[in-house]
Amino acid sequence: MHCGFDLLVEHEVENVRFDLRKPYTLLLSSGICSNDTENPGQYIVSWHLDSDFPIVSDDPVVFACAHNCPNPPPVIRGNFGYPEGCTVDTDCQMEVTWGHRKDSDKIYVSLNGGYETDNVTAEELYIALGINQEAQMSSAYVIECVRWENATDKERRGLMQVDMFTSYNGEPHRNERIESTGVTLTSSSFDNGKVHCEYEVSTKLTVSGVTIPNGQVTDYDLTQPFHLLLAAGPLRKDTAAGQQNAKAWHGRDRRTASTKTFVLGGDKTVYNHCEGTRTCYGVPNNCVATKSCQQLLTYGVLAEGATSISMTLYGMPPNEESGVKDYWIGFGTSSHGKMKDTAVVQCVRYPDGRIDVLAGYNSPNTSLGQHGYELLMNKRLGVEKIGGSYQDGMLECSFTLDVVRNLTVTQSYEVMDVHVDLTRPYYLQLGSGVLAEVASGVIPGTHKKHPKVFPPVVLACSRMDCTGEPTARTTAAVPTAAPSKGGFFCLPADCSKARVDYRTSEKNSSRVHMKLTGKQQVSGWNGRFYVAVGFTRTQGMEFASVVDCVRWQNNGSDVQEVFGSYNKAGTANVRTDKNGIYLQSTSYEDDSLTCQFEMEFVRTIQGLPAADTAGQNLTFDLKQPMYILLALSAVRDGSQKVYHQTNKVVSDSPVDISAGGRAAASDYQKNMKKAHAILMVFAWMLFASFGILMARQTRDMWPLTQPFGLKMWFHAHRTSMVLVTVLTISAFIVIFVQAGGWVGTNEHPLVQSHAVLGCITFSLAMIQPFVALFRPHPGTPNRPYFNYFHWTLGYSTHVLSIVTMTLGTQLTDRLEGLQGVGFLILGSFLVNFALQVALKVYKRYRARCTKAVRANSFEALCREDVIAGPRTPAVAANPLDPNDPVRYGILTVNWLQISILSILMVVFIAVV
């Protein structure tokens, strides 16, 4: 069968645009036709039968090209576009793709984008690609694609043309044109309001011909990772510089910076450096020599004074999972060559095409099975300058890894600080696996085969192939790190809510580099919340310099930014300028918000009215010890912060940020929570239970003992209930002071339930004493109604208090370590109730009050509704025999049960 046809160079299929002047991968297949059940008499193409189909071309093909194309089609290695999440060649306003051609050592770069204002497309415009070591505009090498009218060229006057220029961002908002050495324009066009330029770029670019500020980069080696910047805007005529095509300010809504780094150039194969400048380990054996590794790890030597090493992970899916595109490759370091107690780094490709590098840890507890692997909350702890690509079925990640890492991990409610020092020898393990779906999303799953284990090696070494004897990894408390290594502070101790990492900037010693991470606590926040770090001279939230990492919605789009703010007296927080704060990157992933920024060690807050400062010193020197604050909550009305309530923590002592080390949380908040819990246990487990027991079970005991004319049971009952009221009021005052007010609607539902039930219990407890003031005298007509109301209200309050305390033990926000004792409180109440029922049954069983007995003078002693007051002394033994040893025994057991369990609870709370 043979078919010939014409195909439009540009066409659309299902709203997807194809331009056959660009390279596309070619697929070729065959199959059979089948009846179309929805349209009888017509046929549809069925899926091919042969498992070898379709055939996929090795390289992309350009259809709309002469037989002798000037350049072979490029192999695309990566892309970056704006806005975030857009699809290249489909809906990006600005985009860049890059790759290489087989016959050239140059980098192929394609730049495409447009600019419009008020829905009017600019005729003279530009799109620019910036290359920088940091995610900021200054110190960037810029490649421009410019559409302009050349008014000086008589032959082109009045005609629009698309040209290429290069420039350099020396200072913020200052851009100067430079010589275009190393960058060559190969094609350009203007279509549908967008300019398009294609370039060949050398792997080494140098800035020359302009004034370079001190400390800024002038040489760009594109085989190393860089952040990419994109911007678009209109043109202006700069008569002073003699430029007709100078770029105008792009505006804040027409620029973006990648949070990741990318490697644009370099050799086409990762193996080329294995015999020279990098150490390589691969699977299977001898695969490095034959360049046929299924998984490959390469890393460079440790430069003098460097704190991180350059690494690359490269590989295909596991053998058992051929055809899978979503998988991971990774390596681990351990002191024994086994899976447990191993620090892991993984290169992961997700189902949506994202590529990331994650840090993890295998627990020393082998009984945890697959769940023994834990992704650290800060997934990139020690991992920086991430670049990734996936092509030809091979996944590749390039990144830098800190030589020394302090990992905080949590296993089975135990927090461990793991110290990893790559200057020491460790066994190296290399493997791969597929992804696994869990409740929280998609994570790296277990490997199909046991990873390959290599002899001990020193990864961070100043020469190639360093080896040595393995050194056990430290899992004790992390020692204070050197200034360049930094430290961290967490909320709470296991870092499950928020964390700030800090270290002296490697590029500017007058600044501190910070990574601030917070995790959404309530689904109702809808991904719009903030995490804040503050510094203050006093151990409290007041008078603090604060940096807020905020995610909010602006004009329908989610925005992430950092702000400066200041805590006034009380709980008020006001926004300030961002003087001395330099944002580097932001990200939001798996409900975790992260902001990386640098801040001057010495920073002065400006622009606050005197009424807000209360005479405080607004200059904060972080090289002097300061208390660290961490807080987390939702935002509303744009980027306005909601009060954090209990999601806050203060360091227990001032911290020297420049000296590093882990900061410990203050015990103040924890002690206040303990005080609240202990007061409630005394009130409701001990005194309320004792008071109810005395009122219900001992009315007929000790009839002749009546201090101040009142029976013993009444003295015990009244004293116990007064103590319940006093202790409950005290506990409420303590917890309201600790929380700073009501918990708010943004707290976890369990927290809100505990607070609501606690307030109801408190209200009922306050009503009961007033009810007692209006009790009728015994024997009056209204006395039975009072008895029933008083009994019902008392028992209801007691039961509600037990439920509330049981809920309180499940609040890790309030007091960690109590989750397991909720059943102890509930069990104590049930045992108490069972013993009282037993006493009631026993009393009825032993009752011998016959009609004849009730007629004599002992009637008062037989009645169970005897109320306090003077009574005629009994002249004979009570028929109920209050001195019955069995009854005394049950009462004694009940008293001991109430007292012992209450004291045990108090001791446990005090030491937890």
Which residue shows structure tokens 């284990």? Answer: 453
Which stretches within 498-543 are classed as H helix? none
- Same-domain pairing of 619 and 535: yes
Distance CA(339)–CA(617), nearest Å, equals 53
Which residue shows structure tokens 């911007």? Answer: 231
Burial class (CB in 10 A: 0-12, 13-18, 19+), 708: exposed
Lowest mean pLDDT among 104-118, 443-457, 606-620, 670-684: 606-620
Lowest mean pLDDT among 107-121, 335-349, 874-888: 874-888
| Token representation of residue 542 | 């007041």
- Same-domain pairing of 440 and 341: yes
- Same-domain pairing of 395 and 274: yes
Distance in angstroms between the alpha carbons of the first and the last residue of the chain: 81
- Does a structural domain hold residue 30? no
Decide: helix, strand or coil at residue 696: helix
Instruction: Indicate whether 260 pLDDT > 50.
Output: yes
Distance CA(316)–CA(697), nearest Å, equals 77
List phi, psi (to 5°) of 899: -70, -50
**Count of CB atoms within 10 A of residue 496's CB?**
15
* Residue 565 and residue 577 in contact, taking contact as beta carbons nearer than 8 Å: no
* Residue 332 and residue 448 in contact, taking contact as beta carbons nearer than 8 Å: no
Query: Which residues partner with 534 through β-bridges?
Result: 546, 629
* Residue 289 and residue 281 in contact, taking contact as beta carbons nearer than 8 Å: no
| Token representation of residue 685 | 């487990």
Residue 269: its pLDDT value, please?
A: 58
- Does a structural domain hold residue 370? yes
**Count of CB atoms within 10 A of residue 392's CB?**
9
pLDDT in tens, 4-19: 888 888 888 877 778 8
Percent of the chain with pLDDT over 90: 8
Instruction: Indicate whether 111 pLDDT > 90.
Output: yes
- Does a structural domain hold residue 148? yes
Which stretches within 9-142 are classed as H helix? none
Instruction: Indicate whether 545 pLDDT > 50.
Output: yes
In order, the DSSP letters of 765-820 are HHHHHHHHHTPPPTTSTTHHHHHHHHHHHHHHHHHHHHHHHHHHTT-TTT-TT-GG
Instruction: Indicate whether 377 pLDDT > 80.
Output: no
In total, how many domains does the chain have? 4
User: Residue 27 belongs to what H/E stretch?
Assistant: strand 27-28
Nearest to 544 by CA among 475, 484, 608, 469: 608
CA distances from residue 690 to 326, 548, 686, 841, 891 in whole angstroms, order as listed: 63, 51, 6, 19, 11
pLDDT confidence band for 48 (50 / 70 / 90): low
| Token representation of residue 829 | 């109440």
Instruction: Indicate whether 355 pLDDT > 80.
Output: yes
- Does a structural domain hold residue 252? no
pLDDT in tens, 502-539: 888 877 788 888 999 999 888 778 888 999 999 988 76
* Residue 428 and residue 457 in contact, taking contact as beta carbons nearer than 8 Å: yes
Residue 869: its pLDDT value, please?
A: 41
pLDDT confidence band for 166 (50 / 70 / 90): very high
Lowest mean pLDDT among 334-343, 705-714, 737-746: 737-746
Q: For residue 386, give its domain range.
A: 269-458
3-class secondary structure per residue, 753-770: HHHHHHHHHHHHHHHHHH
Mean pLDDT of the chain: 76
Distance CA(617)–CA(608), nearest Å, equals 12
Instruction: Indicate whether 297 pLDDT > 80.
Output: yes
Residue type, 478: V
**Highest mean pLDDT: which of 327-331, 784-788, 862-866?**
327-331
pLDDT confidence band for 187 (50 / 70 / 90): confident
pTM over 0.85: no
Name which residue leads in pLDDT, 137 or 374: 137
- Same-domain pairing of 175 and 304: no
Nearest to 742 by CA among 758, 729, 720: 758
Distance CA(166)–CA(446), nearest Å, equals 48
Decide: helix, strand or coil at residue 73: coil
Q: Cβ contacts of residue 610 below 8 Å, gap of 6+? A: none
Residue type, 426: Y
Query: Which residues partner with 199 through β-bridges?
Result: 109, 185
- Same-domain pairing of 675 and 794: yes
Name which residue leads in pLDDT, 157 or 305: 305
**Highest mean pLDDT: which of 80-89, 122-131, 267-276, 818-827?**
122-131
645: alpha, beta or left? (left if phi > 0; alpha if psi -120 to 50): left
- Does a structural domain hold residue 49? no
Residue 476: its pLDDT value, please?
A: 34
Residue 152: its pLDDT value, please?
A: 67
CA distances from residue 337 to 283, 297, 315, 329, 454 in whole angstroms, order as listed: 16, 17, 21, 18, 8
- Same-domain pairing of 620 and 507: yes
Burial 544-558 (b: 16+ CB within 10 A, else e): bbbbbbbbbeeeeee
Residue 765: its pLDDT value, please?
A: 85
pLDDT in tens, 428-460: 999 888 888 876 678 888 776 778 888 888 888
CATH number for 599: 2.60.40.1210
Distance CA(178)–CA(143), nearest Å, equals 10
**Mean pLDDT calculated for residue range 791-813:** 79
* Residue 630 and residue 651 in contact, taking contact as beta carbons nearer than 8 Å: no
- Same-domain pairing of 681 and 630: no
* Residue 107 and residue 265 in contact, taking contact as beta carbons nearer than 8 Å: yes
Residue 23: its pLDDT value, please?
A: 72
- Same-domain pairing of 757 and 772: yes
- Same-domain pairing of 621 and 583: yes
Distance CA(910)–CA(678), nearest Å, equals 8
Instruction: Indicate whether 884 pLDDT > 50.
Output: yes
Q: Cβ contacts of residue 433 below 8 Å, gap of 6+? A: 318, 327, 328, 444, 445, 446, 447, 448
- Same-domain pairing of 503 and 389: no
pLDDT in tens, 750-767: 667 788 888 898 888 888
Residue type, 543: F
Residue 668: its pLDDT value, please?
A: 64
CATH number for 730: 1.20.120
Which of 411, 442, 458 represents a domain boundary (last residue)? Answer: 458
- Does a structural domain hold residue 792? yes
- Same-domain pairing of 335 and 393: yes
Nearest to 99 by CA among 126, 72, 66: 72
Instruction: Indicate whether 373 pLDDT > 60.
Output: no
How would you classify the pairing of strands 627-636 and 529-536? antiparallel
- Does a structural domain hold residue 735? yes
Peptide bond into 284 cis (omega under 30): yes
**Mean pLDDT calculated for residue range 639-646:** 77
How would you classify the pairing of strands 602-604 and 619-621? antiparallel
- Same-domain pairing of 517 and 415: no
Nearest to 836 by CA among 880, 793, 897: 897
Instruction: Indicate whether 134 pLDDT > 60.
Output: yes
pLDDT confidence band for 813 (50 / 70 / 90): very low
Tell me 36's DSSP state.
Answer: -
In order, the DSSP letters of 300-346 are E---TT-SEEEEEEEE---GGGTT--SEEEEEEEESSSSSSSEEEEE
Which of 663, 680, 696 represents a domain boundary (last residue)? Answer: 663
User: Residue 242 belongs to what H/E stretch?
Assistant: none
Torsion of CA 696, 697, 699, 702, to 10 degrees: -160
Residue 425: its pLDDT value, please?
A: 87
In 637-737, beta strands by DSSP E? 640-641, 648-650
* Residue 77 and residue 99 in contact, taking contact as beta carbons nearer than 8 Å: yes
In order, the DSSP letters of 401-424 are EESEEEEEEEETTEEEEEEEETTS
Name which residue leads in pLDDT, 910 or 272: 910
Q: Cβ contacts of residue 548 below 8 Å, gap of 6+? A: 530, 531, 532, 562, 563, 564, 565, 641
CA distances from residue 310 to 302, 398, 467 in whole angstroms, order as listed: 8, 8, 18
Tell me 369's DSSP state.
Answer: G
Which residue shows structure tokens 């005194």? Answer: 687
List phi, psi (to 5°) of 547: -115, 125
DSSP 3-state percent helix, strand, coil across the chain (nearest 5)? 20, 35, 40
| Sign of torsion over alpha carbons 547, 552, 555, 558 | positive
- Does a structural domain hold residue 584? yes
Which of 190, 218, 234 represents a domain boundary (last residue)? Answer: 234
